Amino acid sequence: MLPMCGRYVLYSPIEVLIARFGIKQATFGLTPRYNIAPEQEIPVIIQSDEMRLVGMRWGLIPFWTKQPSSDYSTINARAETLELKPTYRHSFRNRRCLIPSDGFYEWKGTAGRKTPYFIRLRSQEPFAFAGLYDIWEPPEGVTVTSAAILTTIPNELLSKIHNRMPVILSPEEQATWLDRENNDPSVLRAMLDPYPSEEMEAYRVSTYVNTPSNEGPTSIVPEV
């Protein structure tokens, strides 16, 4: 199986995201993106004194690693083992974030014959992946802030495509996830369950999305 979730889209304009997530400050410029890939700069929502939209590298680099390109850099984090893995333990307690999205891709089939699917909410509204982030500071040079998307077991819809799915938070869960005063692992873990199948939809799309450099609305057109 390929990593889950390894490609996603965000085309909603900033005005929609401000209203949807209560963003007060945006320092990351948005353009419609239909094929966001690992190691690219992505928009991430964090909360300090106010809700902020900032840019981060997709692929979490833990603060304690010696090199930013180490094997510890990862785009996904398994919800079941966050407290056990040194890579995520600190971020799970102290650096949680939201990663806004309009949908994501997954591939079904055997190697060389995989069919891409686009998955989104039935409402077609933007939503938020549960994310973690970290800040890597070199002895000298440029600081790197990076993030990962959490994954969990699939719901009924996704189980027909892949053995994992990204954690999607409901609007009611988002404030609790971002609350830096909330360090109760049981409360946090309770939110990392599969999103309801009945509120999601999936359909086949063209292999055009297989190449990360391919962009544009063509990526999410249903394959006939």
Q: Which residues are catalytically annotated?
A: 5, 106
Query: d(Cα 123, Cα 212) in Å, to the nearest integer?
Result: 26
Terminal-to-terminal C-alpha distance of the chain: 25
Contacts of 54 (CB under 8 A, 6+ apart): 27, 28, 43, 44, 45, 46, 145
Q: How many CB atoms lie within 10 A of CB 72?
A: 20
Residue 22 phi, psi dihedral angles, 5° rounding = 70, 35
Residues belonging to the chain: 224
94 by DSSP, 3-state: which? helix
Nearest to 215 by CA among 26, 32, 47: 32
Q: What is the DSSP letter of 205?
A: B
Query: d(Cα 108, Cα 201) in Å, to the nearest integer?
Result: 15
